[in-house]
């Protein structure tokens, strides 16, 4: 899952939202000690959610749709971004409050902790808020834009990540169905992972 889904799964507290976002920026066991227990617990939960996601049969099958093009290795990144699109696009199914209210909360949490954020997140967070990255996932075109941006930050094979967008367009209906099968399971599993 990508930023929006991780933050949404951690919506029970601001510390949890912070930890959910930090999960992509804090690595290893020793780095966990830099954070308070509630944040630390959500970083660990983020990692478990990623493992659950990667192993879920619907996600495994969706990654398999990229095999013929030789792009399975890069499919997970594209699926993470696309699944955030599916969540944002169907937001009213999962939430009573508007998407904009939730994304504003996430940006406030990041801003309130900006001095403590790891350098890479410290650099990204203001752009994330200024361009409403999380809310922008509701528009399909922003999936392509986000993937192209990620590709520019890869040290190599960014072109292969961008090539995944062609497969995504062809297989979008099947990938939508994969999200529909997978996400309710994830919601239940993630709730059981809470400390």
Q: Which residues contact 32 (CB under 8 A, 6 or more apart)?
A: 26, 40, 43, 44
Taking the C-alpha atoms of residue 158 and residue 153, their distance in angstroms, rounded to an integer, is 8
Taking the C-alpha atoms of residue 40 and residue 55, their distance in angstroms, rounded to an integer, is 23
- Give the model confidence (pLDDT) of 51-71 as tens digits: 999 999 999 999 999 999 999
pLDDT attached to residue 29: 80
- Give the model confidence (pLDDT) of 6-47 as tens digits: 999 999 999 999 999 999 888 888 778 889 999 999 999 999
Residue spans of the domains in the chain: they are 3-193
- Give the model confidence (pLDDT) of 108-153 as tens digits: 999 999 999 999 999 999 999 999 999 999 999 999 999 898 888 8
pLDDT attached to residue 12: 92
């Amino acid at each position: 899952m990508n930023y929006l889904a991780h933050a949404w799964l951690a919506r029970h507290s601001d510390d949890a939202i912070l930890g959910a976002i930090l999960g992509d920026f804090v690595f290893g066991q020793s780095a966990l000690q830099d954070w308070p227990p509630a944040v630390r617990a959500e970083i660990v939960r983020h990692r478990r959610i990623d493992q659950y996601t990667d192993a879920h049969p619907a996600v495994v099958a969706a990654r398999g749709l990229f095999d013929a093009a030789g792009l399975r290795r890069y499919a997970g990144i594209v699926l993470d971004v696309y699944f955030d699109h599916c969540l944002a696009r169907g937001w009213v199914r999962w939430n009573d409050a508007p998407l904009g209210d939730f994304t504003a909360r996430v940006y406030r949490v990041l801003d309130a902790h900006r001095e403590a954020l790891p350098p890479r997140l410290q650099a990204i967070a203001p752009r994330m808020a200024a361009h409403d990255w999380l809310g922008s996932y509701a528009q399909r075109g922003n999936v392509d834009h986000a993937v192209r941006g990620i590709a520019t930050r890869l040290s190599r094979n960014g072109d292969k990540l961008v090539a995944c967008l062609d497969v995504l367009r062809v297989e979008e209906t099947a990938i939508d169905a994969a999200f529909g099968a997978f996400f309710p399971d994830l919601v239940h599993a993630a709730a059981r992972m809470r400390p």
